[in-house]
Structure 1
Amino acid sequence: MDEAAKRSGLDPALARRLQGALTAGGEELFQVITDPAPEVLRAALRNRSLTEDHLLALLKRRDLPEDLLKALYGLKISDSSRRIKLALARNPATPSQVMQAILPQLYLFELVGLCFLPGVTPDQKVAAERVILQRLPTTPLGTKITLARRATSVVTGELLKEGNSALMEACLSNPRLKEVSLFQFLNGANATPDAISSIARHPRWKSRPNLQMAILKNRKTPAIWFTLFLPGTRTPDLNNLLASRRLTPPQKKLVEEELGKRGVRRK
């Protein structure tokens, strides 16, 4: 082997490691896949003793080159293994082409877990969220409720838009839900009186002045929230509410009554 390596200009030590990668037995192969040389790892992929466990161990490495990961994905053993596909999806070095092929094959909450995995790249997170959103129309309500409690801000915001009362509480309690999603919802067509009330009474959201104003500007908001929120609203904001074309006449009357209590005459 050393003579052949010399003739080919290959480093004898590397040549021996390449030969070992091709011929190692099952136990020895676990040591081979710790080798720092990519060419040794590529040779290991052609080893007849290669198993799912070897590939899972290899995929724990974060220094694998993209071409190696592509080759690994193309193996027959990878095609039939969910564990390998999930490990590939979790590896931050996996190229986008492979990710796009794998993500649709993962379970919904595997995709959710991928979004929160330490070291996941922004592109991988966005790709996983995109697949989740694509599945929402056919996802059962019970699963959506669980998803609303666990998902990223993007997915939770999308679930909130549905306006489903059963989903509302789960979405509002998700610590990743962003205030901007609530503004979008309150200005959307699915903001029902019950949904608005859920936001208005929620411990996390009810005391936020900007949200209170968004609630007061919605013509579907029940009168009780005008009664509760108007006394704490600044006079200039009350005047703006009164000038809004979005409020119903009964809502405007409540605003006028509050201004009257403050001795402010309507212009």
Structure 2
Amino acid sequence: MTPESSANSAPLDRELSLRLHHALTCGKEELFQVMLDPVMEVLGASLRNPSLDENHLLALLGRRDLTEELLRTLSRHDTVAESHQLKVALLHNPGTPATVSLPFLPHLYLFELVALAELPGTTPDQRLAAERAIIQRLPTTPLGNRITLARRATATVLDALMKEGDVRVVEPCLGNPRLKEASVFQLVASPRASGESITAVARNPRWGNRPNLKGAILKNPGTPLPLFGSLLPGAPVHELRDLAASGRLTGERKRLVAEELRRRGL
């Protein structure tokens, strides 16, 4: 290092040393100002300040420019370990890497997981992990919460809710704009689908007129007979012929299909 460069860096080193010392020793009120410092080293020093509390860390985690290294250090801090609010704030910070956030997911409440999955800054890995955590809890989730979840959930969670087949949950799922046709198709094509759930799909203004879904409803032996009969006049000829040849349909359904074919002169 030249004498000139040494002279230029000396004031900077002294300034940084003073800021580091201040971060380590200042009082509670001053520490809030330290949380705004642009240098990560200073922020790291502040984590060892005896006056540090939950409110300081909440202010720090509200920043969007924290490095992964600092966020990892934060995740190991005793105050974070003891605070539910700080765990949520850590997970909501877009810079938190998945390897840090995943172990904290079991500590979140159901709708905190939902909020995390919907958060714009959430990475695909974090979103997938949150969705898996939600789905794992579904068997023990009360009906009222599953209904609320059906109105808010992401497509992956909706798919799991639809597979349950409970019409009380299916109906709010059908109104969720994130629901995919593939999830609805799986429901109406399933031999485990209840007549009530199939009817809810058929009567839904968004889903009831989709050709693929109508076809699946007609092929499902669990479709209520009145609904089956009401769909036949609108069915394409090839579907009627497939139904007539199907081994899944018997009795009155076969008769109704044959009658519709005769009505069309086929």
Q: TM-score, normalised by structure 1?
A: 0.90
Shift of the alpha carbon at 1:44? 1.0
Is 2:191–2:220's contact at 8 Å kept on the other side of the alignment?
no
Indicate the residue corresponding to 1:170 in structure 2. 172
Give yes or no for contact 1:6–1:12 (8 Å, CA) kept in 2.
Answer: no
Alignment match, 2:257: 255
What corresponds to 1:112 in structure 2? 114
Gaps of 5+ in 2: 1-6
Q: Residues 259 and 77 from structure 1, CA distance in 2 versus in 1: closer, same or farther, beyond 3 angstroms?
A: same
TM-score (norm 2): 0.90
Q: Which moved more, 1:23-32 or 1:132-141?
A: 23-32
Counterpart CA distance in 2 for 1:91 and 1:247 is 55
Question: How much is the aligned-residue C-alpha RMSD, in angstroms?
Answer: 2.1
Distance 1:13 1:168 in 2: 62
Equivalent pair of 1:59/1:88 in contact (CA under 8 Å):
yes
Structural mapping, 1:51-200, within 5 Å: 51-200=53-202
Q: Secondary structure at the match of 1:161?
A: helix
Deviation of the 1:106 alpha carbon: 0.8
- Matching residue of 2:4: none
Which residue does the alignment assign to 2:204?
202
- The offset of 1:9, in angstroms, is 11
Q: Judging by fraction of residues, say which structure has more helix.
A: 2
Q: Aligned partners of 1:57, 1:169: CA distance in 2, in Å?
A: 41
Aligned residues: 260
Q: Deviations over 1:40-82 (max 9, x none)?
A: 1111111111111111111111221122112112111111111
Higher deviation after alignment, 22-31 or 213-222: 22-31
Partner SS for 1:11 = helix
Q: Which residue type is aligned with residue 168 of structure 1? A: V
CA shift, 1:7, in A, is: 10
In structure 2, how many angstroms separate the alpha carbons of the residues matched to 1:8 and 1:251? Answer: 91
Q: Distance in 2 between matches of 1:189 and 1:76?
A: 52
Q: Does 1:226 align with 2:255?
A: no
On the 8 A contact 1:162/1:190 being kept in 2, the answer is no
